[in-house]
Amino acid sequence: MLNRAYIGRRLPATTPVEITEEAVAAFAAALGETGGHIPPTFLISLTLPASDALIDDPDFGLDFSRVLHREQRFSHHRPLRIGERVSCTVQVEDVKVVAGNELLTLRTEVTAEDSEPVATVSTVLFVAAGGDDEEQSVAARGDDVEQSADVTPGVAAGAARSPEPARGGEAS
């Protein structure tokens, strides 16, 4: 189970990353897009790696092999620009238990080097229950949750985790 004490916790801002034409073109090509604009969803290539410190924190208790991406929302405050440098600050917004599984909500603020807000990205991750030991743990804590037979723990979400972004100024 995720550590609910993390609700409200913010990770330190990431090191600023330069938005390069190459990174944007590679992302757009993967989507089958052309046209020379930055896809609105390009920010996921920055925000997912920004949460790595949380994902890798054993005290938080997130087993990424049990994670499925559930929802993503982008609120753009202004257009992202080629050549600018941005950083991301991730905050744990909420952890909800639903039928013995968890919904983790993260909010990531994307900010330019001059502190100008660029976007707010909200991510909801479904975290499947961990099996018999974890279900007994839930019952022992007295959580009033209903177990669901429709959820298969260990769904291959870990393979969907993005590779480490390119370093040295590239944002892909």
What the chain holds in terms of domains, given with CATH numbers, is: 4-152 (3.10.129.10)
pLDDT at 136: 42
Q: What are phi and psi of 171, to 5 degrees?
A: -105, 10
User: 121: which strand partners?
Assistant: 74, 108
Helix (H) or strand (E) holding 89: strand 85-98
CB proximity list for 28: less than 8 A, separation 6 or greater: 34, 35, 37, 38, 39, 42
Q: Is the pLDDT of residue 39 over 80?
A: yes
pLDDT digits (tens, 9 = 90+) for 106-139: 999 999 999 999 999 999 999 999 865 544 444 4
Q: Is the pLDDT of residue 8 over 70?
A: yes
Say what the pTM is. Answer: 0.74
Q: Is the pLDDT of residue 160 over 90?
A: no
Alpha helices in 19-172 (DSSP H): 21-31, 44-50, 52-55, 132-141
